[in-house]
């Protein structure tokens, strides 16, 4: 099979991993335009400072010996199989990189032959890219469950980020749909990657204190420069959960995510709404609701940036309210905690007000040092007042809706609007602030 055909198959097989997203556009050049687009292959990801970068997203092989029911590459699925050699993949990556098509590589693989063999090939590829091709772009590499820890350790030295996909939120789901994997085969490499990341950070910070260098400048979410250490998997680790393939409730999923953030210092947990890719009788016939995926991402932000504990806003056996964002839903169920006075509420309390995001909470705290704030000050800060006004007082005055039922209906009926990249209030929704 020609290389182009294999690349088409392998990049299509990688599109179900949502650690980064593809544009999905497929358009041929009509002769008077510049360039083509392809539905697969090059995808986009976002750095910590908000930049969008292009990655070559591809599998080493889709010829899997595992038979996970939810996976398009599973052994029993009747699809065209293909593989690419480390040398071919390195040449492809360098060709794209030199032409400025991509800024990095997202490399995963089905488990071919066995987990150790697959991890060896992945290691050989990233090692060749770094040491022979002198590739200095971004690399995100998948760690293979059941692979020898020594291979994962070696691979971590050549890449910026690694990930081990949990896929299913419960051990029962793994036994039913992915019997070749075990809870231990996933959590063990996660723990290993967490240790590698933390040890690297500690070493890099020590070198920084001694003035040895090796660090690069980045910006934090509020625009203040800080040092980011350069060490193995300096961009940390991530994982992916498939939503809707098993009966696991949102509360169970979020409880697991919180534990992963706390125990293994994950940078991100990605949620992928289940899509049928076969005719397995063990799986739902319809795709999962994508609104559920969106609400899970919003709840994830509450855990990571807003100081919420999962137990505060959802029970393990319960799903989120898909008609309201999780923060508004929590506030409406806890009206005894509101209204709060905008001129003296602590930062942590401001974060819990619907319509006040991370940046505006900081702006309010800073502005209060210069004097008391009024309604016009909040408008200038572009606080989303149509929500926030119902949960705050300004110098003791309340301007919102007092009747709970009316307020609940108002929040439910808040119209959806087209987002604009040039509108700060809408942009805060894109970046996860709400």
* pLDDT tens-digit map of 250-304: 999 999 999 999 999 999 999 999 988 878 889 999 999 889 999 999 999 999 9
The DSSP bridge pattern shows strands 340-341 and 237-243 to be unpaired
Residue 41 confidence (pLDDT) above 90: no
Query: Does 339 sit behind a cis peptide bond, omega within 30 degrees of 0 on the bond before it?
Result: yes
pLDDT of residue 138: 86
Under DSSP, the state recorded for 288 is P
Residue 18 confidence (pLDDT) above 80: no
pLDDT of residue 416: 54
Which residues partner with 248 through β-bridges?
A: none
In 3D space, the residue among 91, 267, 237 whose CA is nearest the CA of residue 159 turns out to be: 237
pLDDT of residue 50: 60
pLDDT level of residue 190 (50, 70, 90 thresholds): very high
In 3D space, the residue among 272, 323, 271 whose CA is nearest the CA of residue 301 turns out to be: 271
CB contact at 8 A, 72 and 85: no
CB contact at 8 A, 177 and 166: no
Q: What is the pLDDT of residues 233-242, one digit of tens each?
A: 888 899 999 9
CB contact at 8 A, 64 and 13: no
Question: How far lies 237's CA from each of 160, 275, 360, 417, in Å?
Answer: 9, 24, 29, 34
Q: What is the pTM of this model?
A: 0.82
Instruction: Output the average pLDDT for the chain.
Output: 85
Give the Cβ contact number of residue 35 at 10 Å: 7
CB contact at 8 A, 381 and 363: yes
pLDDT level of residue 227 (50, 70, 90 thresholds): very low
3-state percent helix, strand, coil for the chain, nearest multiple of 5: 40, 15, 45
Q: How does DSSP assign 34-100, residue by residue?
A: S--B-SSSEEEEE-TTS-EEEEEEEESB---S---TT-TT-TTS-----B--HHHHHHHHHHHHHTT
pLDDT level of residue 204 (50, 70, 90 thresholds): confident
Residue 148 confidence (pLDDT) above 80: yes
When pLDDT is averaged across residues 131-146 and rounded to a whole number, the result is: 92
Give the Cβ contact number of residue 90 at 10 Å: 22
Report the C-alpha gap between 60 and 366 in whole angstroms.
51
pLDDT level of residue 202 (50, 70, 90 thresholds): confident
Query: In whole angstroms, what separates CA 353 from the centre of its chain?
Result: 24
pLDDT of residue 130: 92
Question: How far lies 343's CA from each of 347, 401, 434, in Å?
Answer: 11, 20, 20
Report the C-alpha gap between 6 and 88 in whole angstroms.
11
Residues 6 or more apart from 60 whose CB is under 8 A from it? 10, 83, 84, 86, 89, 107, 108, 109, 110, 112, 118, 121, 122, 125
Residues 6 or more apart from 65 whose CB is under 8 A from it? 75, 111, 112, 113, 114, 180
Residue 359 confidence (pLDDT) above 90: yes
Report the C-alpha gap between 163 and 156 in whole angstroms.
10
Report the C-alpha gap between 192 and 237 in whole angstroms.
11
Phi/psi for 71 (5° steps) reads: -100, 135
pLDDT of residue 426: 47
Report the C-alpha gap between 55 and 373 in whole angstroms.
45
């Amino acid at each position: 099979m020609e290389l182009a055909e294999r690349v088409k198959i392998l990049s299509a097989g990688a599109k179900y991993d949502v650690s980064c997203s593809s544009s999905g556009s497929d358009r041929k050049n009509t002769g008077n335009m510049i360039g083509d687009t392809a539905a697969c292959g090059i995808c986009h990801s976002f750095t910590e400072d908000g930049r969008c970068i292009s990655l070559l997203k591809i599998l080493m092989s889709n010829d899997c010996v595992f038979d996970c029911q939810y996976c398009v590459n599973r052994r029993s699925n009747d699809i065209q199989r293909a593989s690419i050699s480390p040398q071919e993949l390195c040449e492809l990556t360098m060709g794209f990189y030199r032409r400025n098509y991509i800024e990095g590589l997202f490399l995963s693989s089905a488990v071919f032959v066995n987990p150790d063999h697959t991890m060896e090939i992945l290691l050989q590829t990233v090692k060749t890219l770094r040491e022979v091709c002198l590739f200095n772009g971004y690399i995100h590499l998948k760690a293979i469950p059941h692979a020898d820890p020594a291979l994962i350790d070696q691979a971590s030295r050549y890449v910026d980020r690694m990930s081990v996909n949990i896929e299913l939120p419960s051990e029962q789901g793994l036994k039913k749909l992915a019997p070749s994997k075990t809870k231990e085969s996933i959590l063990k490499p996660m723990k290993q990657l967490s240790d590698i990341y933390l040890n690297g950070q500690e070493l890099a910070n020590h070198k920084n204190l001694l003035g040895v260098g090796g660090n690069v400048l980045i910006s934090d979410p509020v625009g203040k420069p800080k040092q980011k250490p350069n060490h193995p998997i300096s961009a940390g680790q991530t994982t992916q959960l498939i939503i809707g393939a098993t009966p696991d409730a949102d509360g169970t999923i979020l409880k697991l995510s919180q534990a992963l953030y706390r125990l293994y210092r994950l940078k991100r947990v990605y949620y992928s709404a289940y899509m049928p890719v076969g005719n397995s009788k063990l799986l739902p016939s319809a795709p999962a609701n994508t609104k559920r995926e969106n609400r899970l991402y919003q709840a994830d932000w509450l855990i990571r940036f807003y100081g919420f504990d999962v137990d505060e806003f959802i029970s393990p056996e319960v799903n989120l309210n898909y008609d309201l964002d999780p923060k508004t839903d929590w506030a409406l169920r806890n009206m005894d905690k509101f209204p709060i006075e905008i001129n003296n509420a602590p930062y942590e309390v401001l974060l819990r007000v619907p319509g006040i995001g991370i940046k505006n909470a900081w702006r309010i705290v800073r502005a209060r040092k210069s004097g008391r704030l009024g309604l016009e000050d909040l408008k200038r800060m572009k606080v989303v007042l149509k929500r926030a006004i119902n949960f705050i007082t300004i110098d003791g005055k309340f301007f919102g809706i007092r009747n709970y039922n009316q307020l609940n209906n108002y929040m439910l009926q808040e119209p959806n609007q087209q987002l604009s990249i040039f509108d700060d209030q809408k942009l805060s929704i894109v970046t996860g602030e709400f």
